[in-house]
Amino acid sequence: MKRIQRILSASLFVLAACTPGPTGPVSPPQAAVAPVASASSATPPAAPAPVAENPLLHASTLPFQYPPFDKIHDSDYAPAFEAGMADQLKEVAAITHNSEPPTFENTIVALERSGALLTRTSKVFFNLNAANTDDLMQKVETDMAPKLAAHQDAILLDPALFARVDAVYQQRDKLGLDAESAQLLDRYEKMFVRAGARLSDADKATLKKMNEELSTLTTRFRQNVLKATKNGAVVVDDVKELDGLSQEQIGAAAEAAKARGLAGKWVITLQNTTIQPPLEQMNNRALRERVFKASVARGDGGPEDTTAAVAQIVELRAKKAALLGYPNFAAWSLAEETAQTPEAVNKMLGELGPAALTKAKEEARDIQKQIDSDVKATHAKPLKLEPWDWAYYAAKVRKAHYDVDDAEVKPYFEMNRVLQDGVFYAAHELYGLTFQERKDLPVYQPDVRVYEVHDSDGSVVGLLLLDYFKRDNKQGGAWMDTLVDQSTLLGQKPVVINNLNIPKPADGQPALLTFDEVTTMFHEFGHALHGLLSATKYPTLSGINVPPDFGEFPSQFNEMWTRDPSVLAHFAKNYTTGAPMPKALFDKVLKAQNYGQGYATLEYVEAAMLDQSWHQIPAAKAPPAAKVMAFEADALKADHVAYAPVPPRYHTTYFNHIFGGGYEAAYYAYIWSEVLARDAGEWFREHGGLTRANGDRLRAMVLSRGRTKEPSVLFHDFYGKAPDIKPLLEYRGLTLPTTKKK
């Protein structure tokens, strides 16, 4: 996942909307929020009295404006947020009241420079709130979410400010702007208009109230999902129940129990997805069922219930879209994406859904045969394939067909070697980058590692933080974000972070990865490269500030190097002997990757269609909380993808991507971007593969460009033609159903 924040304008404001997706305890109160003064008001609100020792109130003196994590305390955030909002309103008021006629420099560039304190505070807070939260941080998030939404509206819905922006925009053809500046001006005009700048005063007041309510509801959803995920962990009393798990996994479960004060027990913690990784290895069917049911129960009732928040979010988003002149929220959201329309998304998902379902049913038949064979051999009672059985028996089928399993493969994928000799190696070969670990910079958690990134000429590119291990106070999934955005206007080099959720091994044990986890490491590093290699002037257009359906392209493209023989040979070595992974074994791993693509594609398409179903309905059809799960079931049936053995990758009640922020009506982005990624991979193969020339071309034409051009143009410039879905289908081993001629 690209990031946990949807940053609509990197310096103008930061919208607090987290995902990995994808955090905590009590539901936030529906407290009234004091109105935020208009940015054009004569007397902007005064900032709270600054606290001298609050490090957030001043630009960091560390290299690259790296945050002084060792000096930041939870009590610093709220004052810094308040001061940051007040400061930015003063800056914006100065722009609005400028007696000079509006120009690109005194209006647009001035807005780009505004909000440094608020941006700095938001970057640090939302990154740490996702990766290392606590009760006080979650209270700050709850308190600040509606205030930040109101602050955003105070700027974007200010008529006097918009008049200046629009005046510059109307003169755009006469200004002689360079291409990047012209793109920035266009983005600002669209940003204001989409936010409601042309609405009547009455409608603006309604919209402001909606935005504040939505910010509170998405915060509640996010926090309840984190708490439900933590509390849903399965406690095991007898180690014999863990039969099938490796000693490393059992040790990690013991460590997780010890961390919860349950020494002598074992805890199976939950990941953010529906299917939990240990299900593949657990021999105990009853425990598999417990783990699965604990996973799908998250948010559906109880103290961490999310159905009420979902119902309100869906209704409010639909009303907001209608107020802005769109038939539904998806239409409003997708207008800014590469896909542009719900129809385009529906068409793509509608093509993939039947292919995935057909393939999944073929896989299910093979799995049921395996179950029947096992039952016959053990004289047990007949078993029908259930969702908690799929991964377990699919692994057996895969081993039978390809003679490979994770226990055989994982010793060749020790985490540090994968990082140094795989991830970093590929980046060096493609882009000339080198990575030097820095232990002199403070970190917010002992497991975090910091690297200084150097270009081929020795110049410094920026900083990379890696936070790879799972914690109870860390949201699930894997994601990338920025702590400092690259911008030549602001003299900033990028500081980026990758987060994974690898179970931390017991002391002295290695972290051994599955091939899927290796792929995830390369994926998130692709996002990191998109941020690190940015070379733009303006922060709004920098790095990862692109639509989600293009933002996943660099990350999914970077996955291809996990399959490249030259990269693999560099890192796939046995962690005890140093022996390289036998070619025959990896050939089997690659062949086995296509096995299960029906399941993997279907669970994703189900979730993507579910996202569209929630966001393509008008407000009048939004279901009440009591019918949220019924709506989900009906939507999957209506889209002809409901299949009991294959549940959606995320059920509605813990679908953080779309209800926690950032990917609402845009979860389809992963498959849309993957079409681009596989096309780019095909281009690389046709042009010599892993070479500096190819890497430099991608860097110059895509990775460094941010949104200085529209994404579809950037891709076409690189690829030379329109996207083609065939390489993706080949990669996944799928074929589209053929249409019979009449």
State the sign of the Cα–Cα–Cα–Cα dihedral 206, 184, 11, 112: negative
Residue in this structure with the two tokens 């069917």, named with its chain if needed: 285
pLDDT digits (tens, 9 = 90+) for 606-621: 999 999 999 999 999 9
pLDDT at 12 over 50: no
Write out pLDDT tens, residues 422-471: 999 999 999 999 999 999 999 999 999 999 999 999 999 999 999 999 99
> For the segment 347-401, what is each residue's pLDDT rounded down to a tens digit?
999 989 999 999 999 999 999 999 999 998 887 889 999 999 999 999 999 888 8
pTM: predicted TM-score of the whole model, two decimal places: 0.85
Distance from C-alpha of 35 to C-alpha of 489, rounded to nearest angstrom: 33
Specify the pLDDT at position 592: 81
CATH 1.10.1370.40 domain range(s) in the chain: 9-225
Length of the chain as a residue count:
742
Indicate where the chain has its CATH 3.40.390.10 domain(s): 411-552
Residues 257/249, Cβ–Cβ less than 8 Å? no
Kindly report the average pLDDT of the chain as a whole number: 91
d(CA 508, CA 247): 12
Q: Is the pLDDT of residue 236 over 80?
A: yes
CA dihedral sign of residues 105, 106, 111, 113: positive
**Average pLDDT estimate for 76-92:** 98
- Which pair of tokens denotes residue 289? 């069922």
What are 461-507's pLDDT values in tens digits? 999 999 999 998 998 889 999 999 999 999 999 999 999 999 999 88
Q: Is the pLDDT of residue 13 over 50?
A: no
Query: How many CB atoms sit inside 10 A of residue 191's CB?
Result: 17
Which of the two residues, 58 and 738, has the higher pLDDT score? Answer: 58
552 in catalytic set = no
Nearest CA-CA partner of 287 in 274, 276, 299, 273? 276
Tokens of residue 366, six digits: 């093979």
The predicted model gives 309-325 an average pLDDT of 98
Identify the pLDDT of residue 532: 98
Average pLDDT (683-695) is: 97
Higher pLDDT, 228 or 591: 228
Q: At 1, is the pLDDT very low, low, confident or very high (cuts 50, 70, 90)?
A: low
Q: How many degrees, rounded to 5, is the angle at CA 306 between CA 303 and CA 309?
A: 125
Catalytic residue among 255, 280, 524, 559: 524
Positions of E strands within 226-377: 234-236, 266-268
Distance CA 265, CA 29 (A): 36
Please check the confidence at residue 599 and state whether its pLDDT lies above 90: yes
Question: Who wins on pLDDT, 143 or 729?
Answer: 143
Pairing of strands 479-484, 266-268: unpaired
**pLDDT more than 90, % of the chain:** 82
10 Å Cβ neighbour count for 252?
A: 26
HSE toward the beta carbon, residue 557, CA cutoff 13 A: 32
CATH top-level class of 9-225: mainly alpha
User: In 259-370, where do the E strands start and end?
Assistant: 266-268
In the structure, what pLDDT confidence band is assigned to residue 403 with cuts at 50, 70 and 90? confident
- How far is it, in rounded angstroms, from Cα 476 to Cα 114? 33
**What was the pLDDT predicted at 29?**
26
- CA geometry: angle at 656 spanning 654 and 661, to 5°? 150
- Whether 679 has a pLDDT exceeding 50, the answer reads yes
Question: Where residue 673 falls among pLDDT bands split at 50, 70, 90?
Answer: very high
Looking at the domain 411-552, which fold is it?
Answer: Collagenase (Catalytic Domain) (3.40.390)
The per-residue pLDDT for 662 is 80
Question: For the chain, first and last CA: distance in Å?
Answer: 44
How far is Cα 623 from Cα 630, in angstroms, rounded to an integer? 9
- Quick one: what percent of the chain has pLDDT higher than 70? 92
Which H helix or E strand runs over 435? Answer: strand 434-437
* Encoded amino acid at 344, one letter: A
Residue that is written with structure tokens 């596989």 in the block? 678
pLDDT digits (tens, 9 = 90+) for 29-82: 222 223 334 444 434 445 554 545 899 999 999 999 999 999 999 999 999 999
SS3 annotation, 592-647: HHHCCHHHHHHHHHHHHHHHHHHHCCCHHHCCCHHHHHHHHHHHHHHCCCCCCCCC
pLDDT for the residue numbered 25: 25
Average pLDDT value for residue range 233-253: 94
